[in-house]
Structure 1
Amino acid sequence: MPEFNGGSMAIVQRAAPERAALTTGHTADRVRVLLDEGNTRWRTFAPSRPNQGSDRRRALWEAETEDPVATVLGCADSRVPPEMLFDRGLGDLYTVRAFGQVPDSSVTGSLVHGTRELATPLLVVLGHSHCAAVREAVTARRSGRVPEGHTGFLVEGILDAIEDVPEDVPGDFLDACTRANTMHVADQLRHEPGLRERVHSGELRIEPAHYSLKRSRVEWLGDLPENRPGPETGVPQQRAPNSP
């Protein structure tokens, strides 16, 4: 099974040939395959827990830098740590987490660093089922009352994403809103000044994904026919269908 590795010659010398090749030229397609493989191991209760041993820790310390292969924007929810869901180890993922994946200035600045300065080719926006942040936004939408303080700021960001989701959507309304929020955040980031140039040049791909707590599975929302990029805009044309 191929593995990621970090950014020092010491790591490359210990790595298998395929791992060494990834260090010098990983692509968004290849990284996504590795993330899929890791999620398959996770959901089938067969994690390999790569890159967590003493050799890896020493190599990362000696390198004095980092070379992750993907950037992940995930929710702060304690049930969805990206490194575990994708069965990855130290230095593999540049992870940014926030309540509901709301991309405020701090979050966006961190993502720009991960994708531009660290040159990761893939940015995953990872939402999940039973999201408390989206539930807060749904409650605010129905009541017309937004929470005060910091929570209210985050809820307002999600309200923009779910305003077009009909109450009578087939299936679970909360799940439909969660998916809509993930798609919305990915679209926002594609147009972010610090990211869009790399997106347009093909150096960076931004992909929305949804993690099911019930199935332990990551679903790539952009793979669904109704969410594939349109011919002119290059962004999804409508919301994803919902299933928990």
Structure 2
Amino acid sequence: MSNKQKVLIVEDEQSIRKLLEYTLEQANYQTVLAIDGEEAIRQTMDESPDLIILDLMLPKTDGIEVCKTLRRKNIETPIIMLTARGEEMDKIIGLEMGADDYMTKPFSPREVAARVKAVLRRSGEKTFQTEEQRLQTGQLVVYPERFEAYLNDKQLEFTRKEFDLLVYFMKNLNRVLTREQLLLAVWNYDFAGDTRIVDVHVSHLRDKIEENTRKPLYIKTIRGIGYKFEEKK
């Protein structure tokens, strides 16, 4: 039985699929291949990969739908989304649906290996956090390891990144956090071009935890800087 980490490559373009397969096998990963969205879901269920490289534009079922379907089934396998367009909205949608990272075509073999290694490392760090945490402020209670959050004893539903953002806020109560800090901490990006991703996710969080989004109780906007998650008794 192989001890190599397994990567599912979902790409309908043969030349890119072969490049990814060769690059990852040279980096000592085991690879599994799929050429459309339906096969990607099937292979994920059958092969239990450690990571998925998922093209956005696929036959039958596109990458966004594959990502949504897997997360709806509570499959938390890390996903790196591939996009040929490089448009900010593609990245935002992919990350909103539960992708962990993205790469824009064309990419270099070195970038592929580096991204895969980084995402698997972050995923492994989460896996080995064994002591259960309980974060609470006011009537909002979060269990990071269980992926559960409750407000007034009612369980809330979040995407992966919404939940990660909520946990980071809860661990930094009353601190003013810049969009760049949040982008680096939650998405592991250290450049300013994608800070709108943060605003989109904050908006979604407010919709789920605030009674009045125009006068938020928890997530305060600090004009020109970022956000502050206020502690409640």
**TM-score over 0.5 for the pair:** no
Question: TM-score, normalising length from structure 1?
Answer: 0.29
Q: Is the strand fraction higher in 1 or 2?
A: 2
- Between 1 and 2, higher relative CO (CA 8 Å, sep ≥ 6) is seen in 1
Question: TM-score, normalising length from structure 2?
Answer: 0.30
